Every structure is written in structure tokens, then in C-alpha cells.
A and B are shown apart, each in its own frame.
Chain A
């Protein structure tokens, strides 16, 4: 089955090789036993389910807590099935109903996942001729917005590349947001744009990177700079914004009474 194939490089967890979770295992058992999903013989399926879990343990596979929880749920359902039913309450739910609904819901998405897998396989054979132009040479698409997530990913990259030297000395770090604002602005005074990496190139410590990032957010908020990507997931570039030259009186304290409030 393709499940086995695609799972070979499972980077997540081993669920008895192929089972993604208790619902997956249950669906497998229901299919294998050829029982009606709407009329699951709970005792029989539970017994099998537990056998599988034991097998997983014998194979020294880590049995995720969810599998154990489901075993308990199955047993609870069985117990409730054994209890006499309330004759006066025709509305009383079949104890299995909740489980069946969960199984059906899960099954839909599992199926959708299979469809996606097929689409990926087809797409793999759609060869795309190389373009003479590289991503980096694409002129800015002014309408493709840059999301906060892009910004955070870019910043995470910066922090990742930033080795923080361990300094065993307590001192107050003299980094102020306004200093970093000035730094960014002076950087852009000399050139029209800068990549994220360039802006963070000289940053000595993590805290300075963080403050620089805050400065960028503030500058973007007041539209003194614009953050753009040429194509999605390309490197973020910082450009002069509409209000690049406007005076910086209040910006540094992130005061509520910003003159350009409508901008936000």
C-alpha cells in the first residue's frame, strides 16, 4: 500500500509503521473485519485493537498515549452497551455514536489526503522548463503583500544565524529602539533598498537584533519603510516607504498619538 511507502521517511512518529493514530487503526480493523461502521461489534474490535497495541509494545514501538486512551474509550463503550437501556428515553444515544461520527469525519480527511498524494505524484511528472530569469531578478511585485508571518520567518532566520556569545557579565544593554531606527534609516539613505540579512549583518548580540526588529516594525507601521518580496518566500527586502523622510519626533516612543494614525 502506498501508506507504507510514503511513511518510510516518517519524521514524526512511528505508529505501528502505518497507523497514524487510534482512528486510523480502528478504521483498518473495521475494514479488515468487514464489519459495518454503523454497527461496530465493539467487543470483537476492542479485542483486536488491544492485540495490535500489544504487538506494538512487543516490537518496542512507542505506543502513543492516544492509543491507550482509545482502548479505554472502547471498553467504556462496551460497558455502556452492557448496561440496560433506558426504556423511557427513546432519545438515548447509541454509546457508539460519538465514536462513529469521529471515525467518519477522520475518514473523509484521510481520503482527501490520499487524493492530495495522487495529485502530488501527477505533479511530479509535470516538468517545468527553467526560466532564464532567477527569482532574485524578479522586479518587486508591489501588490503581493508581505504577511506578518513572512516577517517573523525572516527574523527567525536572522536569529538562527546569530550566535549569541555567552557573556557572564551583568550590565544594562544600551540599545534603544530609536538608535536602531536611526541606523535603519541611515542605511536606506545610502541605498534604495536592503535585504533583511544586510540590515542585521553587523548586529553583535541577539538583543540588538530584537531591538532592530522592533525598530523595523515601528518604521513599517509609520510607513517610513516598506517590506517586500519579489516572489513568495523570496528574501524580504526593506525599501524606503512613503513617509521615509518625515520627521521622527514621536515615532521612537511608539506613542499612541501618532500623526499618521490613519495609516494603520
Chain B
């Protein structure tokens, strides 16, 4: 306490030595009498010093602890000499399942499957194997199903300090809403559904029908676009490439 410099150096040494993100309480185990705020201050001091001296590294908070890392600015140089370590690749199925678990935890597999609209045993099993999720208990209710939650490993994998670092669901909704155009939450579903507003006469429905049959030709043209080499939009090319790949001649 009398010597900030010493405290800072001790904190630095401990974080530097730790193979895993080092929680503040572990630092307190080693440095008797150090207050959590003093640890946070030491880290801030150190980072300030690294910044001042133009160092390539900083201390960051990850998965509830402190850890050194090389700032991304220098990643390019690092990769000149060293192959980028390939972290495990997650499939889209895994990512969306993880997202559901992260935001809804504790959550049952049934809930996950309900949202995704597909059976999810395989993905959940894989995520468990990869330690990205864990069983956190059992739900109340019929059959007392297992509930899942994310792990520290999950936080580390995505570079998060804590779950709160994820964007809020409302922010994501806004993001989607902005892309969607009409029909944000501000509008109730009753307003959003034209059928409900429109006089529910048979003619209204016929109109819908006409509309659709009138689409016939245009659609036929559209479906041609699925053929490889014909896609022009981003979406189309995405599918085209993929179909091409999976549909290799036997």
C-alpha cells in the first residue's frame, strides 16, 4: 500500500504467471490485505503504463479473471511467423443453440428444440463435450428435465468477461427490426397482420389468392436462379455454392 509500484508489479507477476485468467480473489490470496479495488487500480495502472510505453500487450478481463494478451494491432505480425491457431469451429447449429442457451439459461433441451424447430440432441451433446455448456440442474415440472447453462470455457471462447458482455436481446431485436422494415415491436401483431385489419370478406382472401397465382411466372424464373452459376444476389450465390458442393455428382 505504501508502495504502489510494488503492488502493481506483484499483480503483474501473478497475472503473467497464471495459465488461466486469474480471478481477483486469487490475487488477494497471494497479497494479504489487498482490496479488490486496489487490484482493479493496479491493473488499470499497468495498462496505462503499457499504453504509454507503446507495449504490444495489455491485461484484459476474461471469464472472470485477468489475463495478458497481445493487442490485435500486432496479430498480423504474429501471424507472419506463426500459423494462426485454429480454434474449434462451431457449426451454425452449434452457434444458434449456444445463443439460445446463453440468453435463456437455465434452459431445457425441449425449450431449445422448440425455438430452433429441430431436434437438438446432437448439438447439445457436442457442446457438452466441448465444455461450452454444462448441465446446471433440473427444471421443476414433469419429468424434471435437465437444464443447461454456459461455462467459463464459453466466455473464454468468445472473449467475454461475463455474460453481460453479450449484446442485450432488445438490441438484437432492434437490429433485426431495422433490417425488417415494418412490424417492429411498437406495432402490435394485430396491426401487423393485414388480414386482421382488412374486412375479412371472402374477396379479401381471393385477392390474396390472385396475388399468388399471378406470381407463378415470376417464381418459375426465380427457381431457375437456384441453378449453379446463375445466382446474382448474395443470397443466391450462397445457396448456389452450397448446393453445388453438397450436390457433387456421385
B248: nearest chain-A partner, CB-CB? A59
Nearest chain A CB to B30 CB, angstrom units: 10
Kindly provide the distance from the CB of B216 to the nearest chain A CB, expressed in whole angstroms: 9
With contacts A124-B84, A149-B134 known, is A17 near B158, CB below 8 A?
A: no
Q: Mark A47-74 against chain B: 1 for CB-CB distance below 8 A, else 0.
A: 1100100010001110010100010000
Tell me which residues across on chain B come within 8 A of A6, comparing CB atoms.
89-92, 95
Binds B, one of A99-107, A172-180, A204-212: A99-107
**In the complex, A13 has a CB within 8 A of chain B:** yes
* Contact mask for chain A residues 110-130; partner B; CB cutoff 8 A; 1 contact, 0 none: 111111110110111111110
**Do A10 and B182 have beta carbons less than 8 Å apart?**
no
Interface flags for B172-216 (1: CB within 8 Å of A; 0: not) read 110110001111000001001111100010100100110111010
Cα A28 to Cα B151 in complex, Å, equals 32
Q: Is B51 an interface residue (CB 8 A)?
A: no
Residues of the B chain whose Cβ atoms lie less than 8 Å from the Cβ of A262: none
Known: A39-B193, A113-B99. A127 touches B209 (CB 8 A): no
**CB closest residue in chain B, given A118:** B158
Across-interface contacts of B223 in A (CB, < 8 A): 48, 51
Whether B49 is near chain A, meaning CB under 8 Å from some CB there, is no
Is A185 in contact with chain B by the CB < 8 A criterion?
Answer: no
Task: Tell whether, in the assembled complex, residue B91 and residue A9 are in contact, meaning their CB atoms are under 8 Å apart.
Answer: yes
Once the chains bind, are A22 and B194 in contact (CB under 8 Å)? no
Is B16 touching A111 in the complex (CB atoms < 8 A)?
Answer: no
Q: How far is the CA of A13 from the CA of B18 in the complex (A)?
A: 39
Contacts of A31 in B (CB 8 A): 235
Q: Which residues 6-48 in A have Cβ within 8 Å of B in the complex? A: 6-18, 20-24, 28, 31-33, 36-39, 41-44, 47-48
A-side interface mostly? helix
**Do A129 and B92 touch across chains, with their CB atoms under 8 A apart?**
no
Of chain B, the residue at the smallest CB distance from A125 is B75
B159 touches A122 (CB 8 A): yes
Shortest CB-to-CB span from B214 to chain A, Å, is: 10
Q: Give the size category of A's interface with B.
A: 35 or more
B19 engages A85 (CB within 8 Å): no
Which of B84, B95, B167 contacts A125 (CB under 8 A)? B84
Would you call A107 and B246 a contact (CB within 8 A)?
no
Is A134 positioned at the interface, with any CB of B under 8 Å from its CB?
yes
A76–B245 Cα gap in the complex (Å)? Answer: 34
Of B123, B131, B172, B219, most A-chain CB atoms within 10 Å: B172
Q: How near does chain A come to B73, taking the closest CB pair, in angstroms?
A: 10
Shortest beta-carbon distance from A254 to chain B in Å: 21
* Inter-chain contact total with CB atoms closer than 8 Å: 254
CA distance A113 to B212 in the complex (A): 33
| Complex contacts, B86 vs chain A, CB 8 Å | 124
Inside 8 A of B144's CB, which chain A residues have their CB? none
Tell me whether B153 and A232 are in contact (CB under 8 A): yes
- A133 at interface by CB-CB < 8 Å: yes
**B residues less than 8 Å from A36 (CB atoms):** 181-183
Asked if B67 CB lies within 8 Å of chain A CBs, one says yes
Whether A120 pairs with B157 at a CB distance below 8 angstroms is yes
Give the complex CA separation of A101 and B114 in angstroms.
12
CB within 8 Å for A28 and B235 given contacts A6-B92, A12-B91, A107-B176: yes
B238, CB-defined interface residue at 8 Å: yes
Q: Are A16 and B119 in contact (CB under 8 A)?
A: no
Q: Which residues of B contact A85 (CB under 8 A)?
A: 200, 205
Q: How many angstroms from the CA of A87 to the CA of B204 in the assembled complex?
A: 13
Give CA–CA (A31, B75) in the complex, Å.
37
The verdict on A247 contacting chain B, using a C-beta distance below 8 Å, is no
A259 contacts which chain B residues (CB < 8 A)? none
The answer to whether the Cβ of B78 comes within 8 Å of any Cβ in the partner chain is yes
A191 within 8 A of B: no
Q: What residue of chain B has the Cβ atom nearest to residue A124's Cβ?
A: B87
Tell whether A143 is near chain B: CB-to-CB under 8 Å: yes
**B60: A residues at CB distance < 8 A:** 126
Bound Cα distance from A37 to B86, whole angstroms: 38
Give 13 CB contacts A-B under 8 Å.
A13-B122, A17-B246, A20-B96, A23-B116, A28-B239, A38-B182, A44-B215, A59-B246, A115-B166, A115-B172, A120-B87, A128-B67, A131-B18
Q: Add 13 more A-B contacts to A22-B117, A112-B102, A127-B78 (CB < 8 A).
A: A3-B92, A4-B241, A6-B95, A7-B91, A38-B193, A41-B215, A59-B247, A96-B195, A112-B103, A117-B90, A120-B159, A129-B69, A131-B19
